[in-house]
Homo-oligomer: A and B are copies of this chain.
Amino acid sequence: MNRETLISHLQPDIQAIDQYLEKECKNISSPSLREIIQYTLFNGGKRIRPVLTILSSRLCVFARMPENVAEEDELHPPENLYRLATVFELIHAASLLHDDVLDNAENRRGKRATNKVWNNSQAILAGDHLHTIAMYLAGKLVPQRIFNQISQTLQDMIEAEFLQIQISETINLAEESYFAVLKGKTGGLIGTACEAGGRFLEADEDQCAALRTYGDALGLSFQIIDDLLDFQGNPASTGKERGSDFRTGRITLPLIHALRQAKEEEREGIINLLQSEPEERLARLDQVIDFIDKNGGFAYTRQGAETLIEAGCSALEVFPDCQAKRSLTALANYTLSREK
């Protein structure tokens, strides 16, 4: 399935999700808060997380009654499923709002970041509000078990931020620490978004575990490719300057692997470079890219993402073939080929 076909399949769900997000905005009494949240929620987000919840639940419906897919909407009130799906977009948006304050970000998805259009205070409060709405909806809509899991995922996200702060000065970063941050910050929420779709339908344990495996893998590989694009991406496609993460001092998988593989002498040279000032680092980006390439860092990283996607898609084998499954597989493969 190519990207255009995939998007056309997802479009109706994305539109429905947008409508539910609009509804949440309308419930906000303060006009200025509403304006900020509307700006934040409708700034070009791709709605990946809520779409995953919907597709995951559709997969479980289909597995239960493949001979009669049309009835799925009657079986399960779609309204509550969509509202549950929005929880993951709201949590994501809340965390981006606070991240942008933390990073003093200027832009988000090519538009001025909320903290710049308004100010830090308003962005912090808007994030708190989104967080509260998300938890309110989750507490209302889902069984205790998945509510607990959503709460745990949120706690993991924050703990991962702290781990990231803690290791931010470490140049010889262990691959394990890199993955711990990735799992907490990105993988967990995407895994939970998928699993929640199954839990909402009271799907069996095997199915829920499969959805979790798929989601965790998708989230991780999405972020790994992001880290690859920071070195290899075309700024015209990604909309971000090359090396913009590298400049801030984040050590990512391509570099972790290259440092591990390199000969002592070359390694020391790069470590010295990495200890220099951000602008100096950025000025010598090409040298670092050569170093990573020569020591197999890019190949290793891409291979890692591919292995994850393969495992994620294999996990879905417990489900029969259906449109939702084809979309999930296409989404996973798109992660690997994406250029932005």
As a 0/1 sequence over residues 127 to 164 of chain A, the CB contacts with chain B under 8 angstroms (1 = contact) are 11101110110111000100110011011001101110
A101 at the interface (CB under 8 A from B): yes
Interface residues on A, range: 35 or more
Tell me which of B128, B144, B147 contacts A98 (CB under 8 A).
Answer: B128
How far does the alpha carbon of A121 sit from the alpha carbon of B28 in the complex, in Å? 26
A124 touches B101 (CB 8 A): yes
Stretch of A29-37, A236-244, A248-256 with 4 or more beta carbons under 8 angstroms from chain B: A29-37
**Closest B residue by C-beta to A153:** B132
Instruction: Knowing A128-B158, A136-B148, A155-B132 are in contact, say whether A32-B121 is a contact too (CB < 8 A).
Output: no
**In the complex, which residues of chain B have a beta carbon less than 8 angstroms from the beta carbon of A98?**
124-125, 128
Copies of this chain present = 2
**Closest B residue by C-beta to A95:** B128
B144 touches A30 (CB 8 A): no
**In the complex, which residues of chain B have a beta carbon less than 8 angstroms from the beta carbon of A163?**
30
As a 0/1 sequence over residues 226 to 242 of chain A, the CB contacts with chain B under 8 angstroms (1 = contact) are 00000000000000000
A100–chain B nearest beta-carbon distance, Å? 11
A28 touches B132 (CB 8 A): no
Instruction: Knowing A121-B165, A163-B30, A165-B32 are in contact, say whether A129-B158 is a contact too (CB < 8 A).
Output: yes
**In the complex, which residues of chain B have a beta carbon less than 8 angstroms from the beta carbon of A159?**
28-30, 33, 129
A29–chain B nearest beta-carbon distance, Å? 6
A166 at the interface (CB under 8 A from B): yes
A122 at the interface (CB under 8 A from B): yes
CB within 8 Å of B: which A143-196 residues: 144, 147-148, 151-152, 154-155, 158-159, 161-163, 165-166
How far does the alpha carbon of A33 sit from the alpha carbon of B157 in the complex, in Å? 12
Task: Please list the residues of chain A having a beta carbon within 8 angstroms of any beta carbon in chain B.
Answer: 28-30, 32-33, 98, 101-102, 120-122, 124-125, 127-129, 131-133, 135-136, 138-140, 144, 147-148, 151-152, 154-155, 158-159, 161-163, 165-166
